[in-house]
Amino acid sequence: MSPRPVGSRPTLSLVAETAGTSVPTVSKVLRGGTDVSAETRARVMEAVQAVGYTRRGGARIENERDESGLSNVLTLVVTHFEGSWANLVTAGVGREAAAAGLDVVLTLAEPHTDWATRVLRRRSVGTVAMPVDPNSHHLNALYAAGAPVVLIDPMSKPPSGVASVGVANWDGGRMAAEHLLSLGHGRLGVVAGHARHLYSRARVDGFRAAAETAPGGGTSVSVVHGGWDRARATAAAHALLDKDPGITGVFACSDAMALGVYDALVARGLRVPEDVSVIGFDDLPEARCVTPGLTTVRQPSAELGAAAVGLLLDLSRGGSEGARRPVRME
């Protein structure tokens, strides 16, 4: 492959050369064309990611608009349908889209499926994605095609210029620690999500910052990972308390994992909050259905979805109105 001159923009020709195919084939892949083999499509997507190609100057996909020049469809890409958090965010997306006269089409981003091509083929004002790896070759294909994309609380740092909406995760973790510290707890535990997820790390970092700077010092924090799953969080909580039986306050980085912590405490004959205080993160409906009721940091889930749609509509319109919106909204 010929080296690209320093400071120059990646071109379709460079993508084609990297993928070992032609410029028309690359263009066809970025339009969601069907008459391209799966192997070639995969090579093009990998090449797009490798060279960092994006369309120039907000170019738009040819098939995004119907004969009237308008599109009435918004794409929502999700990695799963299950769970209250996903349902609440989807509800926020749906209500805001309906208020703008748009219908929402759901696309399930299952591993090892070519979901990006289905999105590219669709007439759409743009895509809201949650929670999808922002550096996946699928999303890179959307970026490269010039399709407006807004990410909801991305798993890792998005590429430069890619818009995202999220909650103040660091501050939420800090608030959780401050609450436990105000109750007099000095030996604290955290059941985090996945170590590689940006929002999980932010919640843990905020919690640690508050605990480590608490007046008097001497506060300890132990961290385990529950993978956002109730059963795995139960096992993680057992491991946490096996390692340090003196822990009296636990922060779970999601309400689902907090319920797993409850399960572990019940199995060990410990009471909430008499023996161990537990605080979650989300304020999901199921947090109100346990005894005693779960203390939790409220995440405005439906508002996240609505804000993502508002940002996407501004981006899709382009011009100064879209430019006024920040790339990252919290």
Asked whether the beta carbons of 107 and 115 are under 8 A apart, the reply is yes
Residue matched to tokens 């170019």: 59
Tens digit of each residue's pLDDT (9 = 90 or more) over 259-290: 999 999 999 999 999 999 999 999 998 888 89
At 128-186, the pLDDT tens digits run 999 888 888 888 888 888 888 999 999 998 888 889 999 999 999 999 999 999 999 99
How far is residue 79's CA from residue 119's CA, in Å, rounded to a whole number? 14
- Region 222-241: mean pLDDT is 97
Non-local (6+) Cβ contacts of 115 within 8 A are: 77, 107, 108, 109, 138
Most confident of 59-68, 127-136, 139-148, 223-232: 223-232
β-pairing verdict for 249-252 and 103-108: unpaired
Amino acid identity for residue 199 in this structure: Y
Q: Which CATH architecture fits 169-299?
A: 3-Layer(aba) Sandwich (3.40)
Residue 193: per-residue pLDDT: 96
Neighbours of 284 (CB within 10 A): 24
- Name the segment(s) of the chain with CATH classification 3.40.50.2300: 65-167+302-329, 169-299
Report the percentage of the chain scoring pLDDT > 70.
87
**Predicted confidence (pLDDT) at residue 306 exceeds the cutoff of 50:** yes
Judge whether residue 105 has pLDDT over 60: yes
CA pair distance 144, 58, nearest whole angstrom: 10
* pLDDT for position 63: 42
Average per-residue pLDDT for the chain: 86
Name the band, by pLDDT with cuts 50, 70 and 90, for residue 120. confident
> Which CATH superfamily, name and number, covers 65-167+302-329?
Response regulator (3.40.50.2300)
CA dist 326 and 323 (Å) reads: 8
What is the Cα gyration radius of the chain?
23
pLDDT of residue 56: 55
